[in-house]
Structure 1
Amino acid sequence: MSETGSTTGSPATRRQMLARSGAVGIGIAFTGALSELFTGTAAARNLGHRGYGPLVPDPAGLLDLPEGFRYKVLSREGDPLRSGEGPVPSNHDGMAAFAGRHGRVHLVRNHENRASGRVPVPAVEGLTYDPEGKGGCTALTLDHRGAVLSERVAIAGTAVNCAGGPTPWNTWLTCEETEDKAGTNGYTKDHGYIFEVDGADPRRTGAVPLTAMGRFQHEAVAVDPGRGVVYETEDAFERPFGLFYRFLPHKPLGGTGSLRAGGRLQAMRVPGVPDLSSIQETGARFDGVEWVDVPDPGAAGTPIRHQDFGPRGITHAQKLEGCYWGGRSVYFVSSFARSAEGSAGDHYGQIWRYDPDRRRLTLVIVFGPDTDIQLPGESPDNICLTPGGGLMVCEDGGGAQHVYGVTRRGEVYAMARNRQNTGTPEDPEWGEFAGVAFSPDGRTMYVNCYDPGTTFAVTGPWRG
């Protein structure tokens, strides 16, 4: 995620100028049918609020929130892990929250460290895949009051752990956003896999790559809780861009062992649409979506997106990132597309909805600065549904970095702003947000600042 960069061209430049001059008129400009995002969700009946008011500058210079909200820092990179295994790793990324016993919450947090990670995930016997991998996950356990009880390594020796997704059986699927093979960047094993992590008991899942789910630049996953099908996004950095996949497990919804039992990996083909960025009109609908078996899921010789899918080809898209299940559909995000980099069209972010029952793909939302250059929402990344209805969106663009809320009525509001300046007073820089998630009781929002790695718990007068 950290290498997405800011959107090029004059809109992004103006955005950075506005942020650095202290302008407060922020928001997201978009078009689309917001109601589609929440169709079939219990929370859909309780939507429509206008947000929580303007952000209040934080005297501590960490996190600006609306009045009435407060934050607690749960963990910061470089501090000692409570387990004594080493320092808290850097590059906090995707994250999920799971219910534990006696009101406890288990957080599983990715660390997107590359071969030269600033603070690597400490190697722990029995939990390390590749001794030369610097990425992985850490797990925090919180008590019923939100206090940190433990913090430890959940998996180590992986690489570029970007996003992932929770399973219906309360484990986390952590995704490697790389295709590096053994011998590259000092690695001793191939990378580009998904690993399953149990935040309550990491040794139960260990460090086993789920090879049947494909070896590619993984970003995020979402699990159909009825069928057990796993949907996967690919964030490829160059042409041909990534694909949208589904994995059909041989033993769906069977717990930890189900995904290890293997299955079929398929890629989405939208007839007549080789590149999703060519579609610009919200509400555009495509029936008869096809799923094509991946010739070589392990990508032994050729990356999957380069493989031969037959004379009709396959459907690509630039910057496929966030992915989640809502109602009876899976939603996935394209953070941006740039024709100058090889896409068929330009946009500042799309949200797509796939309905497996109807085999229908719909373009639900298009982000962008076209309606008001003073409100240039761009590059949506991690997304989660809120307990009271609506979405929380981690923005990954240029200038100031925010978590935005989106209501069903299409109203957008700033929920949080990162105040940790990693640049200089004259040329400030702010790390992106990632891993937004809510506690099982809906009373706490957890979110990461990527750099410097910081995990926050946000409480306050949440509606619903």
Structure 2
Amino acid sequence: MSATRRQVLAGSGAVGAAIAFTGTVSELFAGTADAHGPGPGRDGYGPLVPDPEGLLDLPRGFRYTVLSREGEPMRSGEGPVPSNHDGMAAFPGSPGSPGSPGPGPGRDGVRLVRNHENRLDDKIRVPAVPGLTYDPVALGGCTTLVVDGRGRVRDEHVAIAGTSTNCAGGTTPWHTWLTCEETEFRAGEEGYEKDHGFIFEVDPYDPRRTGAVPLTAMGRFQHEAIAIDPRTGTVYETEDAFEEPFGLFYRFHPEKPLGGRGSLRAGGTLEAMRVPGVPDLSVVQEPGTEFDGITWVPVPDPLARETAIRFQDFGKGGITHAQKLEGCYWGGRCVYFVSSYAKRDEGSAADHYGQVWRYDPARRRLTLVIAFGPDTDLEKPGEEPDNIALAPGGGLMVCEDGEGAQHVFGLSRRGTVYPVARNRQLIESDDGPGFGEFAGVTFSPDGRTMYVNCYEPGTTFAVTGPWRG
């Protein structure tokens, strides 16, 4: 049964701020367990307390540590910390180590692999390191932070370089990171020496074992995020295209499913989702709406040699598009993905302030689970959900990427929306001062530390506190 809820986030730093959504929230947590306690209280963790340092507002009882800031020297000596901190994942400090209870992120620590969404005009590039650089002209890539059991950064180094516009990605069951290029420039365009728009695999323990090899069979398009079915190895991929026609939702069947590090290089089949009778997901407005008989159409040219995939001919019935397809995760027996927003004046068939969709592969069923908004005050949080992550205490963490104040929100099983963090770092732009978005929210293997990036100025935070409630 669907329920309508509207939560008012009261208190310091969130007075009068509201978020509205409709849908059956419990569906978002299918197959997850409250292994680390009951999670937050009925009203979350309480109001946000203004940070005297002007960096990050948190609820009372929580504290943050700045692990890394753009422009500071990396401990590896390879150069300064690059700009534009985006998607990120936390891995055990050593291979095969699940982490252990203690005051920090487990006795073996944590390794954070962090994307840098650098384009050709960005200020601090990912340093080009021999053996780890795909295209020496491109400025994006990933860096790895090695954090010890006490939460101290012991190393910070380049994991891959020479890629472009590394936005989000996702983890594999064999503990590597798939970093996604959110661009589709070809060699010769904008000065690039190689084609871009690929996924690359990054080993958090030894990046030279994965190198800088594009996983070409997984498609060349404006990638955003991925999630892998741990039973079959099927990879689901979102596309955040910037203009009409908008992106597609894909699945990739590997030739060597669940084959471990490097297996995705063996190739496979790329397909795009077709919802019968629905060319644009934005027209679906009512949570709980279901579509059975979802079909998957082979992509004619995954490398997009002549034509971008979303423009290609998918035959009778066409293909289904959606604006701003972003976060993606696997939960229970289903894959969930986010459409951050849709706007008619940008080419979508209808307007919305954010959707969360669920696809059930066994039933071939697609369901609109959550619809955000409408919220007409851009100073109020709650529109344009972006990166999402499951929290070990039984909640969903959502990074906001809209206008005005920028928050990390929690969403509990009971449907309560509560603030977890607010960015206090002002940035200047052509439109005047504003706040940088959050990205890359993730948790340590022991569930005791939340890591999150501020996109600009590039900052990586570790947040500790009473996560168990």
TM normalised by structure 1 equals 0.93
Q: How far off its partner does 1:371 sit?
A: 9.6
- Confirm or deny that 1:65 pairs with 2:58: yes
Contact kept? 1:159, 1:177, Cα under 8 Å: yes
CA–CA separation in structure 2 for the residues paired with 1:116 and 1:423: 16
Distance, in Å, in 2 between the alignment partners of 1:146 and 1:48 is 23
Residue 124 of structure 1: which of 117, 122, 129 is its match?
A: 129
Q: Is the 8 A contact 1:193 1:213 kept in 2?
A: yes
Identify the residue that residue 248 of structure 1 maps to in structure 2.
Answer: 253
What amino acid does structure 2 have at the position aligned with 1:394?
Answer: C
Provide the rounded CA distance (Å) in 2 between the counterparts of 1:202 and 1:47.
Answer: 35
**2-structure distance, mates of 1:327, 1:127:** 35
| C-alpha distance 255-66 of structure 1, shift in aligned 2 (>3 A) | same
After superposition, the C-alpha distances for 1:213-237 in whole angstroms (9 at most, x for unaligned) are: 0000000000111111100000000
The match for 2:299 among 286, 289, 294 is 294
Paired residues of 1:29 and 1:368 also in contact (CA < 8 A): yes
Inter-partner Cα distance in structure 1 for 2:49 and 2:428: 22
1:444 positional shift: 0.2
Deviations 1:435-458 (A, max 9, x none): 000000000000000000000000
* Residues 141 and 149 in structure 1, CA contact (< 8 A), matched pair in contact too: yes
Partner of 2:194: 189
Instruction: For structure 1, list consecutive stretches of 5 or more residues without a partner in the other structure.
Output: 1-21
In structure 1, C-alpha distance between the alignment counterparts of 2:279 and 2:151, rounded to whole Å: 47
* 1:309 aligned partner: 314
CA deviation after TM superposition for structure 1 residue 423, in Å: 3.1
1:41 equivalenced with 2:11 (yes/no): no
Gaps of 5+ in 2: 1-12, 95-106
Is it true that 1:24 corresponds to 2:15 in the alignment? yes
Aligned 8 A contact 2:238 2:248 in 1? yes
Residue-by-residue CA offset, 1:408-436 (whole Å, 9 max, x unaligned): 11111110000111139x95311000000
Q: What's 1:208 paired with?
A: 213
Aligned residue number for residue 80 of structure 1: 73
Return 441-450 or 366-375, whichever deviates more: 366-375
Runs of 4+ residues deviating >4 angstroms: 370-376
1:273 aligns with 2:283: no
* Structure 2 equivalent of residue 408 of structure 1: 413
What code does the residue aligned with 1:269 have?
A: R
**Partner AA of 1:62 in structure 2:** L
Instruction: Tell me how far apart the structure 2 counterparts of residues 116 and 345 of structure 1 sit (CA, whole Å).
Output: 33
User: Identical aligned pairs, as a percentage?
Assistant: 75
Partner of 2:362: 357
Structure 1 residues 276-425: aligned runs within 5 Å: 276-369=281-374, 375=380, 377-423=382-428
What is the total number of aligned residue pairs between the two structures? 443
Once the two structures are overlaid, the 10-residue window that deviates more, 38-47 or 118-127, is: 38-47
Q: What is the identity, as a one-letter code, of the residue corresponding to 2:453?
A: N
Q: In the aligned structure 1, how far is the partner of 2:446 from the partner of 2:255?
A: 33
| Mapping for residues 108-123 of structure 1, pairs under 5 Å | 108-123=113-128
User: For 2:434 and 2:33, how far apart are their aligned partners in 1?
Assistant: 39
CA distance in 2, matches of 1:304, 1:104: 41
Match of 1:199 among 193, 199, 204: 204
Given residue 70 of structure 2, which amino acid in structure 1 is its aligned partner?
A: E
How far apart are residue 257 of structure 1 and its match? 2.2
Shift of 1:200: 1.1
1:369-403 CA distances to partner (integer Å, 9 max, x unpaired)? Answer: 35999855200000000000011000000001100
Check whether the contact 2:71–2:83 (CA below 8 A) recurs between aligned residues: yes
- How much is the aligned-residue C-alpha RMSD, in angstroms? 1.8
Distance in 2 (CA, whole Å) between partners of 1:191 and 1:374 is 36
The Cα of 1:113 is off from its aligned counterpart by 0.3
Instruction: Give the conservation status (yes or no) of the 8 Å contact 1:27–1:414.
Output: no
SS in structure 2 at match of 1:305: helix
- CA drift of 1:26 comes to 2.1
Code of the aligned partner of 2:279:
P
Letter in 2 for 1:229: T
Task: Tell me the alpha carbon deviations over residues 261-295 of structure 1, each in whole angstroms, 9 at most, x when there is no partner.
Answer: 00000000011111100100000001111011000
Please report how far the alpha carbon of residue 146 of structure 1 lies from its aligned counterpart in structure 2 after TM superposition: 1.1
Could you tell me which amino acid in structure 1 is paired with residue 251 of structure 2?
R
Preserved contact between residue 394 and residue 433 of structure 1 (Cα < 8 Å): yes
Equivalent-residue separation in structure 2 for 1:163 and 1:272 (angstroms): 30
Q: CA deviation at 1:24?
A: 2.3
**TM-score (norm: length of structure 2):** 0.92
Q: Please say if residues 401 and 438 of structure 2, whose CA atoms lie closer than 8 Å, have aligned partners that are also in contact.
A: yes
Aligned AA (1:451) = E
Distance 2:408 2:40 in 1: 18
Give the distance between the partners of 1:373 and 1:122, measured in 2 at CA: 37
Does the alignment pair 1:459 with 2:464?
A: yes
2:33 maps to amino acid: A
Q: In structure 2, what residue type is equivalent to 1:250?
A: E
Letter paired with 1:36: E
Offset, 1:463: 1.4
Rounded to whole Å, the distance in 1 between the matches of 2:398 and 2:31 is 20
The one-letter amino acid paired with 1:263 is G
What amino acid does structure 2 have at the position aligned with 1:204? R
Which letter does structure 2 place at the counterpart of 1:232? E
> For 1:43, what is the secondary structure of its paired residue?
coil
